[in-house]
Amino acid sequence: MSRGGAARTAAAEPFLGNLRLSLAHGSELDHAILLELRRDAWAPEPAVPPGLERSWAVGVDEHDANAIHGCVWERRRLVASARLTLHDRFADVPDRGLYPPDLEVEGMPIASLNRLVVAPGYRGLGLAHVLDEVRCRWAVGLGAQAIIGAVARGHEGRLERLGFTPKTFFETSFVSKAGAQVSKPSVLLVR
C-alpha cells in the first residue's frame, strides 16, 4: 500500500525558459495527459516496458493515483514527469517482482523513484536530473528513511551523484517493436 496522500499540489515555478516544475498528487493529475507523455517518451525507444507495447491503457498503474508526480510543463503541455511513491513495506514498492525475491531494503517508510519520462523534444536539458533531485528532496521531506531507484546498466551515474549506491543487479524484460522479448541489464540503487 503506498502512502503518497500526504503531499498536495505545489504551485508551478518557472525554472528554465518557459518550463515550469510542479509537484502534483496523483489524485489531482489528469492521467490521460500522463499516459500521453509516457507513450510519446517511450515511442522512439527500440524496446518498451511490457504492457506499453500493445495497449497504452496499461501505461498507468495502480500506484499512479496515490503517488506524487514531479511534472515539467511548457504552458499546458506536460513535457516530463517522474513518480515518487512512499511505502511502509519494501514488498509494496512498484516493480518489486523484478528484483531478487529474497532482497530486503532497510529503512521504512521507503521511497521509490520510478516512471521517469522526458518527451523526445526536451531531452538533454537536464530535466531527468532536476526530477531526480526534487524527488529526493520531497522523499526526505515526507520522512523517507531510504530511497530506491532503478536504471538501465550504464546509467548508474545519474543516481550515484545524488548519493545512491548499487544494491542489486537484475534483468528487465522489454518488448521490441517486432514483439520480441528483450532482456535489459538493470541495477537497483539505494540511498
Residues that bind ligand COA (CB under 6 A): 41-42, 45, 116-118, 123-129, 151-152, 155, 157-158
In the complex, the smallest distance separating the C-beta of residue 51 from ligand COA, rounded to whole angstroms, is: 14
106-142 per-residue burial string, b: 16 or more CB within 10 A, e: under 16: eeebbbbbbbbbbbeebeebebbebbbebbbebbeeb
In one-letter notation, the amino acid at residue 22 is S
In the complex, the smallest distance separating the C-beta of residue 128 from ligand COA, rounded to whole angstroms, is: 3
In the complex, the smallest distance separating the C-beta of residue 80 from ligand COA, rounded to whole angstroms, is: 7
- What cell numbers appear for 158 in the block? 545519474
64-103 per-residue burial string, b: 16 or more CB within 10 A, e: under 16: bbbbbbbbbbbeeebbbbbbbbbbeebebbbbeeebeeee
In the complex, the smallest distance separating the C-beta of residue 89 from ligand COA, rounded to whole angstroms, is: 23
In the bound state with ligand COA, the residue whose beta carbon lies nearer, of 35 and 108, is: 35
In the bound state with ligand COA, the residue whose beta carbon lies nearer, of 2 and 112, is: 112
In the bound state with ligand COA, the residue whose beta carbon lies nearer, of 97 and 154, is: 154
In the complex, the smallest distance separating the C-beta of residue 167 from ligand COA, rounded to whole angstroms, is: 15
In the bound state with ligand COA, the residue whose beta carbon lies nearer, of 66 and 172, is: 172
Q: DSSP string covering 24-58, please?
A: EEGGGS-HHHHHHHHHHHHTTSSEE-TTTTT-GGG
Question: DSSP strand E in 68-180: where?
Answer: 68-74, 77-87, 110-118, 146-152, 165-176
In the bound state with ligand COA, the residue whose beta carbon lies nearer, of 118 and 139, is: 118
